[in-house]
Amino acid sequence: MARYFLEVMYDGTAFHGSQVQGDTPTVQLALNTALSTLLRSPVETFGASRTDEGVHALCNYYHFDTDKELLQVFFYNLNSILPHTIAVNRIFLADDPTLNARFAALTRRYRYRIYTKKDPFRYERAFYFPFKLDTALLHETAKIIMEHTNFETFSKRNTQSKTFLCTIHQSYWEQHDKELHYVVEANRFLRGMVRGLVGTQLQVARGKMTIEAFRAAIDARDCTLADFSVDGHGLYLEHIQYPENSLVELYI
């Protein structure tokens, strides 16, 4: 039995999140259905990172096991029967048949996109936020986030996480053409964490919250002090890093 990894991208607005929820349309259900059809036996995938309803992915990974040989035509056929809102970018063979897409991931990187002037071509591809922002304050809050490891304040309730500790590797804002982007990379993320980080920083940048209050909110470890109201469609999972040489790409 071999273990394969799929690198996938998807339009999150087409799904009710990534994880299987019965017959509700999700990314995982679509992958399971397509793989089971192609391999003519039940296949279950396991994802690297769960994304909420509306959240997009430029790069997410799912692993699955099969004892069948995957010929090069498999790559074409899989993309052919998947809905147009999902694409498989690459297929890998794991060097270790126990390598887990979720637990073996070293880092994950998210990007949140904001635009301030109405634009029909950015609708549901970024978050429309037509308010004046103090970008200097955004740069300051992003640096403050790097100083912390406990992010309970930015975790939604009813989480299954046993710890709220995260190691933040990158946290910064940058301008992209007509958009403002927040980029954050960490070893792991909590439920709703990125949207909580973005929404709360925007409150500071609008003058609704002081830098001191922002620091105090993090230290309080109280999710009622964070703002999770920013829309999911502004968020993109864009990169996941695995140990070097742990995955061998097929069909190069």
Looking at the annotation, which residues are catalytic? 52
Residue 247, SS3? strand
Q: What share of the chain is helix, strand, coil (3-state, %, to 5)?
A: 30, 30, 40
* d(C-alpha 181, C-alpha 201), whole Å: 12
* d(C-alpha 136, C-alpha 180), whole Å: 13
**Token pair belonging to 197:** 């980080």
E strands, 162-234, are 168-176, 179-186
Q: What angle do CA 51, 55, 57 make, to 5 degrees?
A: 80
Residue partners of 76: CB distance under 8 A and separation at least 6: none
The residue behind tokens 């920013």 is 230
Q: What angle do CA 51, 53, 59 make, to 5 degrees?
A: 35
